[in-house]
Each structure stands twice: as structure tokens, then as C-alpha cells.
Amino acid sequence: MSEKLQKVLARAGKGSRREMEAMISAGRVSVDGKVAYLGDRVEGTEQIRLDGHPVKIVDVKEQICRVLVYNKPEGEMCTRKDPEGRPTVFDRLPNITGSRWIAVGRLDINTSGMLIFTNDGELANRLMHPSHEVEREYAVRVFGEIDEAMLQRLRHGVQLEDGMAKFKKITYRGGEGRNHWFHVVLTEGRNREVRRLWESQDVQVSRLIRVRYGDMTMERRLPLGGWLELGLKDVNYYRKLVQLPPETQSKVKVDEKRIDNTKSRKIRRNVKKHQQRRQTAKKR
């Protein structure tokens, strides 16, 4: 059976389905020597090239879906390469054979916390798409005068430059003076949406941390700059969440995402080694 070209490319780990659609539209993809067009379908026997390089077509039954959770520090870019040489979220991730990691959405340079990666472009696309209404929860510290009328406006919707937006939930978590902590929940991932919603009320965001994606929260023992690969049970939680069939195999031997003290120390050592290598490279 034929499939849409962008779906096949996404499954091959070349990027999210949305990114593949943009590449096809830009004329960067060819099928059997002819420039491909958005809407083209393939059987799986064709020779597909991206920027002139052959793409190994991966059968949906052969690919093992993998998912990482990364605790992003502030100061890292959600891009593969930064022209200014700033660190990126991909720098610390493990190598993956025959595919590549795809970030599920983005966090801006001043935002830290839970960032998900997968090698399955279709899973990434569905988790990001607003039609699936996957919840993202953020801890946010704001500076300014807050009253109940303002919170009601943020719950019911305010007009931003790219349309109406609102928080699904807002929970007060304490504070002193004009500094307040809230937990807020969204079901879409528009650019800088949390910050822009608060700024629409003349309130400044001074700290922003993503703490949950779907029903899965960030492991407390996962240090900044550390990553953890999810076991089969958790991978299938995300697949079920967006109506994808369950996986039967995993690269993780133990189906347990909890981090004990020993594992946490090992991750911290790896994070420290990476920081030392980067500092050495800068001096050169």
C-alpha cells in the first residue's frame, strides 16, 4: 500500500512530518530521479533522495520506536546547529544508528525542563499537533500585580497576534512580594505562548520550566543536561495517547523509568564530562 512521501521520510528519521512537507515544497526531495511534490505517494520500492542523498526507507514493522526525556538547561538552542556556536539540545544526546533524534516541539533559549525526543517522525508530529490536545504543564515565575480578574482572562482567552489563546488550567503555587509561582497547562505549543499570554496582561515572566508532557512528569533526579530513555510501557503510553499502535520491542532492557541514586550519579558524571569537553573545545 502506498503512503504519503512526507510520512515515509519522517519514519526514516529525517525530521518531523511538518519539516518534511516544507522540504518537499522547497524541491529538496526526488523520487526515482524526479522532483517530488507535496501530495506524492510512494510504495516503498522507489529511490528517494533528500538534497541528493539517498534515503533508506524504513518499513513501519522494522523500526523500533524510541523515546528520550531530556532535562533542558537554560541557554541551549532547540536546533541541530547554531550559526553563533551556542550549545544545542542535540549536543548531549546519544548516537542513533540509521536514524536521528527528532525534538517533539521546542523550548526557547531561556526556558528549561522536560523536552521529548523520538526517532519516529509520525509520533513526533502527532504529539505536537494541537488536534490531539496533549497537555504541557509549566512552572512559571512571574513578576507583577496579579488579581483574579487577570487569571480569569487568561483562562477564558486573550487575543494574541496569531489568534486567541488561553491556559487550560492555572494553579497558584506561592510567592513573596510581586514574585509569584504558578503552574499553567496548555494543549498546544505555539511559539513562546506561555510568555506571550502573561505579557498580554503586562506581567513579566522571570522563570519558565516545563514539568510535564501528557501525564508524564519530569523525573526529579534527572539533572539538568541529563537524558533518560523510556522503557516499552512509557513509549506505548505516548503512542496510545495519539492513537498509534503499540510497540512490541524496546532498546531499554528494564522497563522502568525511575532513576535511583546510582543512576542519577552516573548521569551527573556524564553531564559534567560533556561540560568539560565543551569548555576545552572553546579554549582551542
Is 108 among the catalytic positions? Answer: yes
> In the 8-state DSSP scheme, what is residue 52?
T
- Alpha-carbon torsion 129, 78, 114, 93, what sign? positive
* Helix H or strand E encompassing 160: strand 158-160
- Report how far residue 276's alpha carbon sits from residue 281's, in angstroms, rounded to the nearest whole number: 9
> In the 8-state DSSP scheme, what is residue 136?
E
- Report how far residue 47's alpha carbon sits from residue 56's, in angstroms, rounded to the nearest whole number: 9
Q: Is residue 157 helix, strand or coil?
A: coil
Among 32, 108, 162, 255, the active-site one is: 108
- Report how far residue 225's alpha carbon sits from residue 72's, in angstroms, rounded to the nearest whole number: 6
DSSP string, 208-272: EEEEEETTEEPPTTS-TT-EEE--HHHHHHHHHHTT-PPP---S-SS------HHHHHHHHHHHH
Residue with cell 497537555: 135
Name the nearest CA neighbour of 188 among 258, 111, 105: 105
Catalogue the active-site residues.
Answer: 108
